[in-house]
Chains A and B, each alone.
Chain A
Amino acid sequence: MIGDPALTAATVGGAVPRRGRRLRLPVGLLALAGGLVALAAVRVLTGADDLTSGGAVAAAIQSAVPIGLAGLGGLWAERAGVVNIGLEGQLILGTWFGAWGGYHWGPWVGVLAAVVGGGLGGLLHAVATVSFGVDHIVSGVAITILAGGVARYLSQLAFAGLPGGGVTQSPSVPELPRWSVPGLGGLVGVERRHWFLVGDLAGILRGALTHVSALTVIAVLLVPLTYLVLWRTGFGLRLRSVGENPAAAESLGVDVYRYKYYGVVISGALAGLGGAFLSMVASSIYREGQTGGRGFIGLAAMIFGNWRPGGLAAGAGLFGYTDALQLRGGSRSVHALLLFLAVLLLAVGVRHLRHRRTVPGAVTVCVAVLVAVWYVTTDSIPAEFVQAAPHVTTLVVLALAAQRLRMPAADGQRYRRGG
């Protein structure tokens, strides 16, 4: 993904390898708790109660799931060494096939059809990149163009003439079941009091545990499942070895092509599942342009998460949260987030300064001050800026962390099987 080794070597400049400082679970939980307290404080200070309301949390999860599934798709492909920029196309196929299967044979068949449809998109990408050695980006772009055409063409054949259907949209699709954890009915009352921290926790619990779609549960479970399969089984080890050093893997008897196929087809299937979520859970019809570039955001979330499932889920959550606030017309909530961002940047900057990293520390503190000034001098943020927030976040994160990220060593390279 990052490109030619010579170019990246030039840019990284032979940096001294950093000490592996992965976020351990206790530290991560502590950071999460700290962030929650800060968010609660910001909410109380600014009165932007939507920041942690149950509705906002539910909407954030709703936005995060397709991004996360696309990201998981990206993870499976790139761990096998294939860059799948066709995720967007496979997402489109998923939305269409989900709606089509769901309309005719019920929601669960729709989910299955979406997985198959996305998987077919993945298969096409695998045939082009693995068997024919086409450049990964080129094939991905072609698949995204093709998927848009296929979906529109199939709509014309399958949806035109049905009630509410047409070239650009499907008739309405039956819903998947939604579940609630019993006994949480009292949370609404607690949330309405807006107590510091308690109210916030109630909101988050209500959003995350009540009225949850079955597909959300599946998507959340797929994150640890991906970790277990890729990092704790022989199959996963072989798949990752193909992405790190295919020549070595082959010399040890791994069928490189087969494992690349597995990775890319599963990748497409996961993106297809994300598409089903978009057309069957997030809304109840297929609509053209429904994916809105979420495949690309998913890819960004995966890079944000350093090619690991946990980080990817965090990235998807972050993007989903900003997306949700914007969807709820929350230019006020997002405005309040500016204060949160300023505090966060200030903390990072002070930490830099204490470790005697003067330049990055000073820059971060300056940015924090600027954000704070922005917060004080304005009342709201234009909706367009809010909509661009996930994309700007991605760029900033990549710019700050790109050199600390470690992608699979043979990612994006063509591989020809030895004789």
Chain B
Amino acid sequence: MGDLGAAARTASARPDTARLLPQLVAPVAALALAALISAVALSVSGGNPITAFRAMADYGTQPASLVDILNRSTDYYIAAVAVAIGFRMNLFNIGVDGQYRLATLVAAAVGAASFLDWLPGVLRILVIVAVAVAVGAFWAGVAAVLKVTRGVSEVISTIMLNFIGGQIVAYLLTPEHLGVQARGSNDVTTRLLPSDSWVPGIPLIPNAPGGVHGFILVAVAVGAGYWFLLGRTRFGFDLRATGMSASAAVASGVNARRMVLYAMLLSGAVAGLTGMSQLLGARHAYTSSVGGIGFTAIGIALLGRNSPVGIGLAALLWAFLDRSALILDLNEIPKEIVTIMQGATVLAVVVAYELAARVGRRAQQRRVGAATAEPDRSEVPM
């Protein structure tokens, strides 16, 4: 017993390098592997991988590209945090896409509605954001209620709700309901928001045309809030505990059903914010181009290991690949190759982390085993 205590003390005293090292090597190795796969794909399609990568790096770091990358990653980041909130307690919110499309549509329609004409712009922005959050949470809440009351897997229900949400959007976005036919175009959008509720851009990048969407600050705040809520509060602790072992959490007094409900509502609320950056900063109306990043967000959350900083880096990487791929077509390489890079990266990263965890666990077991093993009789002084 005394031996065990001593072993535990020494193990906790110094940082557990045997467990941490593989965790640090994993993402680097995974990215290298993904780059290798991409290089092979590039060569197969008749390009020189090195010149292609260099062209991507050159183009991706131009001022205009940097603005675009930051704008794209704002959307990605918020959506991925929404996914990550669910992941932290083993909930798969695959419905981010439906949640934010519906939220953006309703928020855009409310924001441009004539009964709000008396509101000053700043307050109107708050109303728009609040509506988006509420609608996103509501749509995720349907899946949560189905799960806690009827035991329906959220994986299936959120996928179904994506399709249903898409059809509701299509139904509402018609001239008979919330839509407006733009003159001289087939596009149906919602009414344009009044210009006093447009969020101005931030001139973050020198020499770039146009600024970065102001909503990027909200994305940063979402990240900070996510870090604080999960890492520094009782609620976050309960949430993570439920994710690691629901039975242990229940045994220690956590109401697992309530946690499912809260986590899902929170995830949906954050998902509702996803479309706001584009709505308030660029398009100022709901257009049919909204949607489609829900699945990407899952990949980004996985890539970033659900950590607030990691997701940020993953979102930037993803956006960089999106943007810099545009140059590939000029070099006669199909830019679609980037989707392969992204998919390969996700798959390589999840496999690498799994392997790293396994290696680390085994090394730790060996060490603890060596420290607590029955001492060799011959060495024990009698």
Contact = CB atoms under 8 A, between A and B. Distances in A.
Interface residues of B, number: 57
Nearest to A394: B160
B324 to A, nearest CB: 16
A11 B147 contact: yes
A165 to B, nearest CB: 13
B49 to A, nearest CB: 15
Lowest 3 A-B CB distances belong to which pairs? A149-B339, A146-B343, A156-B334
A5 interface: yes
Given A11-B148, A296-B159, A300-B160, 19 more contacts: A2-B152, A7-B246, A85-B155, A133-B358, A142-B346, A146-B339, A155-B336, A156-B336, A157-B44, A157-B334, A167-B336, A382-B171, A384-B167, A384-B170, A391-B164, A395-B146, A398-B150, A400-B150, A402-B152
Contacts of B114: none
Contacts of B250: 6, 10
A153 B41 contact: yes
B370 interface: no
A150 B340 contact: yes
14 contacts: A10-B250, A133-B358, A137-B155, A142-B346, A149-B343, A150-B343, A153-B339, A303-B156, A391-B160, A394-B160, A398-B153, A399-B150, A400-B150, A403-B151
Overall SS of chain A's interface: helix
B19 interface: no
Interface stretch (B21-29, B272-280, B307-315, B348-356): B348-356
A113 interface: no
A387 B245 CA distance: 39
B167 A7 contact: no
A128 interface: yes
Interface of A: 1-8, 10-12, 83, 85, 124, 128, 132-135, 137-139, 141-150, 152-153, 155-157, 160, 167, 293, 296, 299-300, 303, 382, 384-385, 387-388, 391-392, 394-395, 398-400, 402-403
A138 B146 contact: no
B90 A4 contact: yes
Contacts of A5: 246-247
A3 B163 contact: no
Nearest to B83: A141
Contact of A1 (B156, B162, B164): B156
Interface string B158-181: 011111100110110000000000
Contact of B156 (A124, A145, A149, A398): A398
A149 B342 contact: yes
B176 to A, nearest CB: 9
B171 A152 contact: no
A299 B163 CA distance: 14
Contact of A145 (B92, B150, B299): B299
Contact of A388 (B92, B150, B154, B163): B163
B295 interface: yes
A153 B150 contact: no
Contact of A6 (B153, B160, B247): B247
Contacts, number: 172
Contacts of A303: 153, 156
Contacts of A132: 351, 354-355
A153 B337 contact: yes
B150 A7 contact: no
A129 B345 CA distance: 16
A142 B153 CA distance: 19
Nearest to B173: A384
B107 interface: no
B334 A2 contact: no
Given A6-B247, A132-B351, A134-B354, A142 B339 contact: no
B295 A384 contact: no
B27 to A, nearest CB: 15
B247 A388 contact: no
A232 B252 CA distance: 45
Nearest to B347: A142
A148 B339 contact: yes
A273 to B, nearest CB: 22
A388 B167 contact: yes
Nearest to A143: B347
A403 B337 CA distance: 44
B192 to A, nearest CB: 24
A134 B351 contact: yes
A293 B159 contact: yes
